[in-house]
């Protein structure tokens, strides 16, 4: 490899290995051209003093600054998806048992783990728990390809399936309003007065079922009026919360578009599962524990439609690409339907072509209400701080420095030589150090 020989001749090999190891195995880093200068700052006068550090991308071994892509999808970047999974785990855990700035007493508040599904769009191949065969007459294996795909693709309601995904975010949004209303009603309070006594917070993740419909898993918790650090009122029990969730999920509906004379209305499916979360101390192996919930949500946060449905992990540029792709006929038909609906002026706001690869779903993968726990950004900052502290313990505190930086995007990925070096040097993820482990 001539590029490698050149690097060796220039004596820059150890430097480039150091730069690559900073990526923690990210295979599609973002490349930046630019510079960063850190100055001493007199906090009393606000005066900028001497230069403490200067970094110019041209002086770096790779000729550019390389930063992690931070892609959450396992199929796109396994290393960055792993960081995202861990962060999500910590975020969910913090909301269940405290930590990272969330008080420990949230562990004593009523909490449930709920799963919301999409309604049916036509019969699909399935595995029956009663031992009887699927309607097609066969007994399907767990990894059987036809599972979740329509028994009759000609009658499957692809239009409603795609539009449901496109409205799933709005449906959840409205559900969260209905839920607060139902909780208030059970406490004998108006919705407005509820805020003086209790707060309902949640963290949720979207997952694709094999049939290509999005469904939601959520941790829902009741706190006192100031959130996690105030105790909930005595009436706030997991039973009351469960009952309110069931009513709100049954009532909620979102009006959709009228297409060729057909009015679409969106609701959740009848399959609703709500379970109380117990703390680990009370676990006898049967209960749903905090740890299991956090691991479950974190796992699904790194998956898109590609994992369950065999669709795509990136946007489609032309519908003609579909014919060449190695995806299931069911996924192809869902994407084609989204693409066709995307041409309609009255559905412009759904941006169905841009989100065709997500089968119409354009919501966030994992979301949480403000009071649930810490944020992914806060966890990232904490990690950066920790790395900085580890790199140079006598480095000045960030508040006493002034930073001037200018960076421009110069591309993505590694050169062949860099990729070869990164692979052969076995730059394992996490070499930069993680302050916490799950
Ligand atoms: Zn990456
Ligand atoms: Zn079948």
pLDDT digits (tens, 9 = 90+) for 323-350: 777 788 898 899 999 999 999 999 999 9
Q: For residue 434, report the distance from its CA to the centre of ligand 1, in Å.
A: 16
Mean pLDDT of the chain: 80
23 or 191, higher pLDDT? 191
Exposed, middle or buried by CB within 10 Å (0-12, 13-18, 19+), for 26? buried
Is pLDDT at 141 greater than 70 in this prediction?
A: yes
Residue 173: band (very low, low, confident or very high) from pLDDT cuts 50, 70, 90: very high
- How long, in residues, is the chain? 438
Ligand that comes closest to the CA of residue 76: 1
Q: For residue 142, report the distance from its CA to the centre of ligand 1, in Å.
A: 31
- pLDDT single digits (tens) 212-242: 898 888 889 999 998 888 999 999 999 999 9
Give the global pTM: 0.73
Q: For residue 226, report the distance from its CA to the centre of ligand 1, in Å.
A: 38
Residue 313: band (very low, low, confident or very high) from pLDDT cuts 50, 70, 90: low
Looking at residue 319, its pLDDT comes to: 77
Report the pLDDT averaged over residues 408-435.
Answer: 69
Ordered by start, the domain boundaries in the chain are 2-68+378-425, 103-121+157-309+365-372
Ligand that comes closest to the CA of residue 152: 2
Whole-angstrom Cα distance, residue 287 to residue 306? 31
Range with lowest mean pLDDT among 31-45, 53-67, 329-343, 383-397: 383-397
Looking at residue 99, its pLDDT comes to: 79
Whole-angstrom Cα distance, residue 414 to residue 31? 9
Q: For residue 78, report the distance from its CA to the centre of ligand 1, in Å.
A: 7
Q: For residue 146, report the distance from its CA to the centre of ligand 2, in Å.
A: 7
Report the pLDDT averaged over residues 367-382.
Answer: 69
Long-range contacts of 421-425 (CB under 8 A, 24+ apart): 421/4, 421/13, 421/16, 421/17, 421/20, 422/20, 422/23, 422/25, 422/27, 425/17, 425/20, 425/21
SS3 of residue 95 by DSSP: helix
Looking at residue 198, its pLDDT comes to: 95
């Amino acid at each position: 490899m001539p590029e490698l020989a050149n690097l060796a001749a220039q004596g820059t090999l150890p430097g480039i290995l150091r730069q690559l190891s900073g990526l923690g195995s990210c295979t599609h880093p973002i490349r930046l051209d630019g510079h960063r200068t850190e100055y001493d700052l007199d906090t009393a006068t606000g005066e900028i003093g001497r230069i403490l550090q200067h970094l110019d991308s041209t002086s770096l071994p790779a000729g550019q600054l390389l930063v992690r892509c931070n892609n959450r999808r396992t199929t796109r970047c396994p290393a960055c998806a792993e960081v995202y999974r861990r962060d999500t785990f910590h975020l969910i855990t913090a909301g269940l048992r405290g930590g990272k700035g969330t008080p420990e007493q949230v562990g004593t508040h009523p909490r449930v783990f709920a799963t919301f599904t999409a309604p049916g769009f036509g019969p699909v191949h399935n595995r029956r728990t009663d031992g009887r065969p699927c309607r097609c007459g066969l007994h399907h294996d767990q990894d059987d390809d036809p599972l979740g795909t329509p028994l009759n693709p000609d009658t499957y309601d692809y239009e409603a399936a795609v539009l449901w995904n496109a409205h799933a975010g709005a449906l959840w949004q409205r559900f969260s309003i209905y839920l607060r209303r139902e909780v208030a009603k059970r406490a004998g309070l108006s919705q407005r007065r509820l805020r003086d006594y209790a707060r309902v917070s949640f963290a949720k993740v979207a997952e694709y079922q094999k049939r290509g419909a999005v469904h939601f898993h959520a941790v829902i918790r009741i706190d006192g009026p100031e959130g996690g650090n105030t105790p909930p009122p005595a009436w706030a029990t997991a039973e009351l919360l469960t009952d309110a969730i069931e009513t709100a999920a049954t009532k909620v509906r979102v009006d959709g578009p009228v297409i060729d004379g057909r009015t679409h209305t969106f609701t959740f499916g009848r399959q609703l599962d709500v379970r109380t979360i117990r703390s680990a101390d009370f676990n006898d192996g049967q209960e749903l524990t905090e740890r299991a919930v956090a691991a479950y949500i974190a796992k699904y946060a790194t998956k898109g439609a590609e994992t369950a449905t065999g669709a795509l992990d990136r946007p489609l540029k032309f519908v003609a690409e579909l014919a060449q792709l190695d995806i299931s006929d069911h996924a192809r038909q869902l994407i084609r339907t989204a693409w066709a609906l995307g041409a309609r002026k009255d559905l412009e706001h759904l941006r169905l072509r841009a989100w065709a690869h997500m089968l119409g779903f354009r919501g966030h993968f994992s979301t949480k209400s403000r009071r649930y726990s810490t944020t992914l950004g806060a966890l990232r900052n904490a990690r950066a701080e920790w790395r900085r502290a580890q790199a140079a313990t006598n480095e000045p505190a960030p508040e006493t420095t002034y930073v001037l930086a200018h960076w421009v995007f110069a591309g993505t990925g590694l050169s062949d030589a860099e990729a070869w070096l990164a692979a052969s040097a076995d730059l394992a993820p996490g070499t930069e150090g993680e302050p916490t482990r799950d």
